[in-house]
Every structure is written in C-alpha cells, then in structure tokens.
Amino acid sequence: MSLLIMIALALVLVGAAITVFTTDPAKQAVVLSIYGFLLAVLFMVMQAPDVALSQIAIGAAVLPLIVVLTVRKVETVRAAKRKQKQ
C-alpha cells in the first residue's frame, strides 16, 4: 500500500468519524460535503476516476443540498407547531 493511499484512507476515516459524531444535522450536512470530497480523493488515489467523478458530484454537492433543504423545512414546521401550542 503506497503512502498516498494510506494518507487518503486515514483522512476518510477521520472524516467519517467527524460526520458521525456531529449531532446538529445542519452542521452535519456541511461536514458530509467535506467527507464526500475526501472519499473522492481516495477513489482518485485508487485510480478510479469514474467513481471519483460520481462521488464528487453527488456526495459533495447534491446530497448536502437536499439535507440542508430538508433541515430548513423541518425547522419551519417545528417552529409553527411550537407557536400553535402557545
């Protein structure tokens, strides 16, 4: 295993841990995007550019966007429900 692969693997491991242990979903979406980028780097180092391209397009952009939009929606619904109770 080359040094480059080891560094990329270590970064992915750290990124995955940070993503899992981030509790606020809104912040998690941002961390997830960075983690997606790290995964793409790993795929690139492992000579899989096709997979890296898919990963960067989906994991670094579209998926976090969908998560952020969902979080915003859930927050507005929660705020409205809290207001109703008062």
Partner 1 sequence: MTRSMRMVVLVIGVAFVGTALVWAALYMPGFGGDWHPYRDHAAAAALAHATANVVSSVNFDQRALDTFGEESILLGAVVGVAVLLRPVEGERRRKPKNTGHVLDSTRLLVVLAAPVALILGIDVVAHGAITPGGGFQGGVILATGLHLLYVGGRYSAFDRLRPLGLFSQAESIGVIAFAAIAASGLAAGGAWLANFVQHGTLAQLASSGTVPLLSGAVGLAVTGSMVVLVAHFLEQRLLVWPPRSEESASAKGDEGEERI
- In the complex, the residues that contact partner 1 under the rule CB under 8 A are 1, 49-50, 52-54, 57-58, 61-62, 65-66, 69-70, 72-73, 76-77, 80-81, 84
CB of 25 to partner 1, least distance (A): 14
What are the start-end ranges of the H helices in 1-86?
3-21, 25-45, 49-57, 63-85
Contact 39, 51 (CB under 8 A): no
Contact 36, 59 (CB under 8 A): yes
CB of 31 to partner 1, least distance (A): 19
CB of 60 to partner 1, least distance (A): 9
